[in-house]
Chains A and B, each alone.
Chain A
Amino acid sequence: GDSVTQMEGPVTLSEEAFLTINCTYTATGYPSLFWYVQYPGEGLQLLLKATKADDKGSNKGFEATYRKETTSFHLEKGSVQVSDSAVYFCALSPYNQGGKLIFGQGTELSVKP
C-alpha cells in the first residue's frame, strides 16, 4: 500500500542554519504531496504542497520539490528561526482516494538561539 517515510527526529539546529528534512514515498499512480506543520499547542496546518511531478511548493521560506524519479519530497529552508520549532509531517494523498492523507511519522525540529 501507499506509504510515507520521513527522517526521524528530533532535529536540533542553531538559528540561521540550513534545514533539510527527508521524505520519501511509495504510491501507485500520481499522488499529491504535502508538508504539514504542528506548532506547540496548535493544530495541524498546511505548510506547502505539490500536486504533480517537478512542482515546487514554497511558503514562509520553506521549499520542497516533487521528484517522481526518486519518489521524494524533501523539505528545505535556508535559514531557520527559533519560531520554526515544531513537528513537521510529510503526507501524500492518493490520486484516486481524495480526502485521504497518509502521513509520515513526523520530525520534531528544535531551533536554538
Chain B
Amino acid sequence: KAGVTQTPRYLIKTRGQQVTLSCSPISGHRSVSWYQQTPGQGLQFLFEYFSETQRNKGNFPGRFSGRQFSNSRSEMNVSTLELGDSALYLCASSRRGGAEETQYFGPGTRLLVL
C-alpha cells in the first residue's frame, strides 16, 4: 500500500511569490491535515480537510489556504511569501480524521524563501 506522497520535495521561491504544494493521501483515507515544521516553532497545525471541506484550522494568516479534491488529494497554497515561511511542510492522512486515529505523514516539502 503506497504511503502519503508530497510534491515537490524541495522548492525555492522569492519573497512576494506564491506557492502550491500537493499531497496525495493513502488510498481510502479521506482526511488530510497540513503542518508546518520550523526549528523555532516546531510542528504547528495549519488545517484539516475531510470530504472536500475544511474542518479545522490553525492560527495562521489568511495567506495560507488549502483545498481538497474529490479523490481526497489536497493542495496547500501560500500567497505573498515571506522569509518566515521557510519551513518543512508536512501533510498527514487518516481514514476519517478521528481523534483516536493514527495520522500517516508524508516526507514533506521543504520550502526556502529568499
Contact = CB atoms under 8 A, between A and B. Distances in A.
Contacts of B90: 43-44
Nearest to A46: B102
Given A43-B90, A106-B42, A106-B43, A100 B56 contact: yes
B89 interface: no
Chain A facing B: main interface SS: loop
Contacts, number: 70
Contacts of A100: 33, 45, 48, 56, 58
Contact of A101 (B35, B50, B98, B108): B35
B42 A93 contact: no
Nearest to A48: B102
| B: interface residue count bin | 20 to 34
Contacts of A44: 90, 92, 105
A106 B98 CA distance: 23
B31 A99 contact: yes
Interface residues of A, number: 27
A51 B43 contact: no
B3 to A, nearest CB: 8
Contacts of A93: 99-100
Interface string A79-106: 0000000000101011111111111111
Contacts of A103: 35, 42-44
B13 interface: no
A98 B42 contact: no
Nearest to A29: B99
A104 to B, nearest CB: 7
B53 to A, nearest CB: 11
B70 to A, nearest CB: 18
A12 interface: no
11 contacts: A43-B90, A44-B90, A45-B105, A46-B102, A89-B43, A94-B99, A95-B99, A97-B56, A99-B50, A102-B45, A105-B42
Given A99-B33, A99-B56, A101-B33, 17 more contacts: A31-B99, A32-B99, A34-B102, A42-B107, A45-B105, A51-B100, A89-B43, A97-B56, A98-B55, A98-B96, A98-B101, A100-B33, A101-B35, A101-B45, A102-B45, A103-B43, A104-B42
